[in-house]
Amino acid sequence: MTPNLQSDFLVDKEKNTITIKREFLANRSLVWDCYTKSELLDQWFAPKPLTTKTKSMDFREGGHWHFAMIEPNGTEYWSRFDYLSITASEKYTALDGFSNADGDINEELPRAKQQLAFTDKGENTLVETVVIYNSLADLETVIQMGMEEGMWATLEKLDELLLKLK
Amino acid sequence: MVADKSKSIRRDVFQAIADPTRRAIIFLLAVGAMTPNAIAEHFNSSRQAVSKHLKVLVECEVVNQEQQGREIHYHLNSDKMKDIEKWLEQFKQLMENRFQQLDKLLENLKKQSK
């Protein structure tokens, strides 16, 4: 569908970071809006077949985005992104976290820091996402949770479906 | 399975690769099974230090011990190492899935603004 667009996925196990670079066929201000306005985030953030529902969005330093990813059967996974620093149209840093429907962060579960940088690449935009975990043990907890909650299983099913449809 | 009686430390594949010496041991064993002496020859650290690392690797189920005659051979349990790779692959797919939805949204937004 979108050939020759840059797409990188790098893992640094020593530094507990995952770096994802992806190019998009749109100018920077449009891509920035898609990442920072909840009415747009709601349209793409949850991977299919899940959908995104924003409860509140306050995109400013010290503010947060409180949202749920919802499975087709209605199961809700609540999260909260706390915005730590923002440079408009260029970059922002957020702390992700699992929360409940009231927006209370589950402090027992690890939180990862996400650094996003938006740069021009010709007429396109390159988005670099760096996900930083405090430790590999933190990452493992997140992995186990994902597996327990069945989110990964859902994705595997989707892959199978896509293969069939091809 | 040898359990750590003294304290309940995490014993998993992530702990296994958290230490540079253990990563080096895993790298060595990826080539083939080795005796503890042969492994220790590759390191400046004491034999005891290497054997401690081997103990951790066995407890993490990253490395298996096998008695061959009078000697013990250590070999890599590659299934365990695949756990991390598997998750990373799924995370990669999740991100790509998400990005493809953003591709579509951007396409629609561009059409609307025209």
Q: Which pLDDT score, from 0 to 100, does residue B105 have?
A: 95
In angstroms, rounded to a whole number, what is the distance separating the alpha carbons of residues A49 and A39?
A: 18
Main-chain dihedrals φ then ψ at residue A139, nearest 5 degrees: -60, -40
**R_g of chain A computed on alpha carbons:** 16
> ipTM exceeding 0.90?
no
DSSP symbol at B34: B
> pLDDT by residue (tens digit) across B37-62?
999 998 888 889 999 999 999 988 88
Please determine, for residue B3, whether its predicted confidence score (pLDDT) is greater than 50.
Answer: no
Q: Which pLDDT score, from 0 to 100, does residue B80 have?
A: 64
For residue A17, the cross-strand partners are: A12, A132
**In the structure, what pLDDT confidence band is assigned to residue A148 with cuts at 50, 70 and 90?**
low
- Write down the pTM of the prediction: 0.68
**In the structure, what pLDDT confidence band is assigned to residue A144 with cuts at 50, 70 and 90?**
low
Best residue of A2, A9, A29 to probe chain B, by most B CBs closer than 10 Å: A9
Q: Which pLDDT score, from 0 to 100, does residue A91 have?
A: 98
More confident residue, B102 or A8: B102
Tell me if the bond preceding A49 is cis, omega within 30° of 0.
yes
A9, containing H or E segment = strand A7-12
A7-12 vs A113-121, strand pairing mode = unpaired
Put simply, whether B104 touches A (Cβ < 8 Å) is yes
Q: Which pLDDT score, from 0 to 100, does residue B7 have?
A: 40
Spell out which chain A residues touch chain B, with contact meaning CB-CB distance below 8 angstroms.
1-2, 7, 9, 11, 13, 18, 20, 22, 24-26, 30-31, 34, 40, 43-48, 129, 135-137, 139-140, 143, 146, 152, 155-156, 158-159
